[in-house]
Amino acid sequence: MKDLRLQVVLSAIDQATGPLKRVLSGSKGLSAALKEQHDLRRKLEAQQRDIAGFRVQSQALRQSAAAYEAQQAKCAPWRSSCVRPRRPPRH
């Protein structure tokens, strides 16, 4: 009789704790999935920052190149007047 009573009690405990165990194991899986999503989001945000920085640098480079070309065009007449032919050294 004691064995039957013990079996009934253990069965009741298993029935009560079974769903709790499933919830806990499910929450662990959910926690891991959330952490993975969080890490992935941080990586994507870092890539977006890198891309935004690249775009800013590319625009700055284009502006610098245009300014350089404009200055080269302004200096072209002076450059041709400043260049003198070199004389060969006398021995």
**Cα 59 to chain centroid, rounded:** 21
Is pLDDT above 90 for 2?
no
Global confidence as pTM: 0.53
**Cα 65 to chain centroid, rounded:** 29
Tens-digit pLDDT profile for residues 21-73? 777 777 777 888 889 999 999 999 999 999 999 999 999 999 999 999 999 99
